[in-house]
Chains A and B, each alone.
Chain A
Amino acid sequence: MSDTTNQLLENLNALACGLFLLTAFGIVAMRQARGCLNLFIAQSLLLAASAALLGLRFDSGHLYGVALVNLISKPIIVPWLLRKTSPAEIYTRREITQALNIPTALTIALALAIGAYFLGIPLANAVGPEFRGPNVPIGIAGLLLGAFTLTVRREALSLLIGLLAMENGAFLAGISIARDLAMLVELAIATDGLIIVFIMGVLVRAVEKHVGTTAVGELASLKEAAAKPAADEVLL
C-alpha cells in the first residue's frame, strides 16, 4: 500500500481513538443509565473501527476478526442480554447523588488521562517504532477511566458499563501492541464479556427482588465495625 494511503489510515485511526477517549469521558459524566449504555455502544463501534483501520494498515486478518466480533457482540448481544436478564428499571434510573459531583469527577478523569499518556509512551516505544499510534496511551486512559467510573458510580448499569469500558480500553491498546493474538483467544474473550453481562444481569435482578433497589453501590452492611452495634443491642 502507498504511503499516502497508510498516512490516511493512520490519521483515521487517530480520529477513532480520539473519539474513543471522548466516549470514555462521557461515561464518567453521564447521569442517565440509558445514556451510559449508548455511549458504551458508541465506544465499542469506535473500537471496532480502530481495529478495522489497523487491520487495513498492517494487512492483518486477525484485526478484522476483532472488529467483527466487537461489532456483533457489544452493540447487539449486550443490550439484548440485559433486556433478558435484568429488570427494566435499570434503564430508567438517573443518579442524582454520585460520590463526586460531575465537574470534580471530570477533573480527576482529565488527570488520569494525562497520566495515562505518560505511562503509555514509554511502553509503546519499547514495543517498536511501528506502534507509535495513539492506541496505547488512549487504551490505558480508557482502562483507568473505566476503573474510575466503578469507584464513583452507585447504579448497577453504570457499574457494569464501567467494567466493560475497562475491557474496551485494554483492547484498544491490545490491538496495536498484540495484534496477532490467536483468534481463539479473541473469541473466548468476547464470549467472556457476554457471560459477565449475563451473570451481573442475574445478580441485579436478585438484588432488585430481595433488597428492592438497583443502586447496588449503596449496599454497605458488611464491615468489621458494623457488627458491633448489633452486638450491643443484643446485650441491651
Chain B
Amino acid sequence: MSVIAILFPPLVAALLVCIPFRKGWVPGVTVVSCLATLILAAQMAWRIAEGGSVTAGLDAAWLNWIAVDGLSALILLLIALVGSTAAIYSVGYMAHEDLAPGKLRLYHTNYNLFIFSMLAIPLIAEPTLVWIVVELTTLCSALLVSFDNTREALEAAWKYVVLSLMGAGIALFGFLVLFAAMRAGGGGTYTWAGLITAAPRMPAILLQTSFLLILIGLGTKVGLVPMHTWLPDAHSQAPSPVCALLSGIETTSILYVILRLFPVMQAVPGAHAETWALVLGLISVGTAAFLLLQVSDYKRMFAFSTVEHMGVILTAVGLGASAADYGAMQQIVNHSVTKSFCFYAAGATLLTVGTREISAVRGLIRRSPFAGTALVFGGLAIAGAPPLAVFLSEFSILKVGLARGHYLATGLLAAFIVIAFFGVMVHVNRMVFGAPENAASESNHTGTQNSRTFHLPFSCRLALVLAAVPVLVLGVYVPKPLHDLLTMAAAALAR
C-alpha cells in the first residue's frame, strides 16, 4: 500500500463537504475521513514499529521526495489521532454555535484542508517542499482562527498569518542556503536522508547559517520565545476544536521539521545545535511559566502552556543524549494527547459559562459537573501531575538531565515546570471549586443559570472521554509497539 493513500481521505472530504445535503452530512464526512486517516496512520505506524518499511509505491525514483520513517510515522499517528477526536468534538460544538449551512461547510472544508496540509509535513522528505506545506498549514488554518469574525478573532488571525509568514520567509532563505550547502558539499539528493549523508562534506558556515535561519523562522510558528507573541492570541480565539489542532499537533509537526536538522548538524564539529536548542528551550519554558501566573483568560492559559511544552521538548533535545531524545519524543506524544484534551475541556467550559475570563468563572463544578471534572483533569494532566502522561515524560527528561551532569539546565527546567504547575492549578482550582466572590450580585446576575446544570452535547462528551484514555494510559504504561516507535523516532534525532 502506498503511503500517499493517507492524504486522500481529508482531500476527498474537503470536496465532499461542499455538496449541500442532509443536515448531518457535513460533520459526518469529516469524522469518517479523520477515522479513515487514523486507521491508515495506525497501520503504517504498526508496520514500521515491527521493523518493516513503507514505500511511496508507484515509481519510486520519481517519488523519492516521499519517505516515512519512525519519526514521521509517530507524527502522522498523532495528527490522525487528534484530528479524529477534534472532528468528533466539532460535531456537537459547532451544532451548538447554530451556524448558517454555508458557514458550517466553510469550517469543514478548511478543517479537512488543514489536516491534509499537516499530514503532508511528515510524509514529504524534501526540505523545500516541506517548507511549502508548512506555509499551507498557516494558510489553511487562518480562516479557522478568524472563524468567529469578532474583532479579537480577526486580530488574532491577522497576527498569526503575518508573523508565521514572516518567519516562513526567513526559513525559506534558510532552506535555500541549505540547498547551496549541499551543492557546495558535492551534491546528492536533497532529502532529509540525503542531507545526513552529505553533511560531513558541507561548508560549516553555510550549514550553521541555514540552521539558525530555519530555527528562527520555523521557531516563530512553533511559538518559541521571543517569537511567540501571536500564539496565545491565535490559540485562544479560534473555535475550541481548532485550538486543539493548533496547540496539540500543528506546533509539534512544525517542531518536527526543526528536529530533522539535528542529525545533519551533528556532522559539523562545534556547530552547537544542541546549545541553541537548550538555550531557546529554557527561555521558552521560563517565560511561559511566569506568564502562566498572570493570565486572565483560561484558553490563553492553555496556549501559554503550549509554549512551555515546546520549550521542554527543545530543552530535552538540547541535552543531547539518546535517552533525552526518547524523553522528548514521549513528551511530543503526551503533549499532543493532553493539550487536545485540555482544549476540549476549555471548550466545554466556554459552552457552559459563555466567557473566557478566569475571574468570571467560579464554582464550575456545581454548574456542570462534567465540564468541571474535565477541566480539573486537564489542568492536572497538562501541568504534569502524577500519574498522568506528561508527568512520566517530564520526569524522565529531568532524570536524564541529572544523569548527564547538566545540573544548571535541569535545575532551571525543574523550577520552571513547578512554577508552571502552580500557575495552571491556581487558576483551574479557582474556576472549578472557588466560591463566587460576590455572592449577592452573582446570584442576581446568573441565578437562573446557576440553579440548573448545563448539559454538554453528546459528541463533546464522547470526544472528551476518548481523549482522556491515552492521557490516563500513557501515564502508567507505554505499549510495546509505541515504545518501539518512540525508540526509532529518538534514533532519527542522532546520527
Contact = CB atoms under 8 A, between A and B. Distances in A.
Interface string B156-167: 111101100110
A235 B296 CA distance: 15
A68 interface: no
Interface of B: 126, 128-129, 132, 135-136, 139, 142-143, 146, 149-152, 154-159, 161-162, 165-166, 169-170, 172-173, 176-177, 179-180, 183-184, 190, 203, 205-206, 209, 232-233, 237, 291, 294-297, 300, 357, 359-360, 438
A224 B206 contact: no
Contacts of A206: 146, 149, 154
Contacts of B296: 224, 227-228, 231
B158 A216 contact: yes
How many interface residues does chain A have, given as a range? 35 or more
Nearest to A219: B155
Interface stretch (A5-13, A90-98, A120-128): A120-128
Given A185-B128, A210-B151, A126 B357 contact: no
A102 interface: no
Nearest to A163: B165
A154 to B, nearest CB: 11
Contacts of A127: 180, 183-184, 203, 206
Contacts of A228: 296
Contacts of B159: 222
B190 to A, nearest CB: 8
Nearest to B151: A211
A220 B156 CA distance: 9
Interface of A: 122-123, 126-128, 139-140, 143, 146-147, 150, 159, 163, 166-167, 169-170, 173-174, 177-178, 180-182, 184-185, 188-189, 192, 195-196, 199-200, 202-203, 206-207, 210-211, 216, 219-222, 224, 227-228, 230-231, 234-235
B150 A163 contact: no
A178 B177 CA distance: 7
Contacts of A207: 154, 158
Given A181-B128, A181-B179, A163 B166 contact: yes
B173 A174 contact: yes
A169 B152 CA distance: 32
Contacts of B184: 126-128
B156 A222 contact: yes
A105 to B, nearest CB: 17
Contacts, number: 143
A80 to B, nearest CB: 18
Nearest to B171: A170
Contacts of B152: 221-222
Given A177-B177, A185-B132, 20 more contacts: A123-B209, A126-B203, A146-B169, A147-B169, A167-B169, A170-B176, A173-B176, A174-B172, A184-B129, A185-B126, A188-B132, A195-B136, A199-B139, A199-B142, A203-B146, A203-B154, A219-B154, A227-B296, A234-B357, A234-B359
A185 B360 CA distance: 50
Contacts of B360: 231, 234
A210 B152 CA distance: 11
Contacts of A211: 151, 154
A123 B177 contact: yes
Contact of A220 (B149, B155, B179, B294): B155
B292 to A, nearest CB: 11
B172 A222 contact: no
A224 B304 CA distance: 11
A159 B209 contact: no
A222 B233 contact: yes
Contacts of B156: 222
15 contacts: A126-B203, A127-B180, A143-B170, A150-B166, A169-B173, A170-B176, A173-B173, A185-B129, A188-B132, A200-B161, A222-B232, A224-B300, A227-B357, A231-B357, A234-B360
A192 B142 CA distance: 14
A230 B297 CA distance: 12
Contact of A222 (B146, B179, B209, B237): B237
A155 B445 CA distance: 41
A10 B420 CA distance: 57
Given A163-B166, A170-B172, A126 B206 contact: yes
Contacts of A174: 172-173, 176
A98 B126 CA distance: 41
A178 B139 contact: no
B145 to A, nearest CB: 9
B135 A196 contact: yes
